[in-house]
Structure 1
């Protein structure tokens, strides 16, 4: 699994002009799932996301986690995080999980993050043409790949 985590002051997702998810301060998480991903990867990544200390404390240092600021998460599925670009100019997405694997894992990530945060997770719609708006705070953008845990 790969996640691009952006610290935001606000973020939203619309599909065909209709809002599917909107948050104020927190994380916009773009989530890519590959065939090799396991439930262990999912659990590890979810813990990492909620535990990230990238919000400012009273001294302006990045010491606070999502719970410390009562932040929210907007979770967006994004298979393009597994684009392979070594050959040619048209990316290959062969490593990205097919919907029959990716959808259940995406739904499990929503449940896991809900349990860990105690809050409703805002989402997009899996596989839809989504329009994402955000105000990246900092900017702070973190890339996490579960295949690089060590």
Structure 2
């Protein structure tokens, strides 16, 4: 197994901890702390530096898609859900039902919600773009205030 590296990105909505190997990113999660503890150094793998740079471009409104390599770690069903989430374009939204239908299992709405909540690649796998069928914000592991901020951010740069 490859060594795991971590790097913090200080976003406008809190510290984001990036984790990955020399080859791919495995996690991008909001850290519930105020200070960065991992800083970019010479030995920081290129893929982490690229993820950091692309997140920075996203928060500056200069990037809508992510191109660095990442690993989806989960069940086949979860991976199907997460892949479907990447089909929700920048500044757009969808519902759990939309995702269930897109993966050919329209009755799996609750399971889609559960998979959505287990997404470890925040922002890149855009679970923040999922809203309720009624148009209201639904849960978000990073907090509803962050979800609202991200949706507004994308609308501002669309």
Which category of TM-score, normalised to the shorter sequence, fits these structures?
Answer: under 0.3
TM-score scaled by length of structure 2: 0.22
Larger relative CO (CA 8 A, sep 6+): 1 or 2? 1
Q: Whose helix proportion is higher, 1 or 2? A: 2
Q: TM-score normalised to the size of structure 1?
A: 0.22
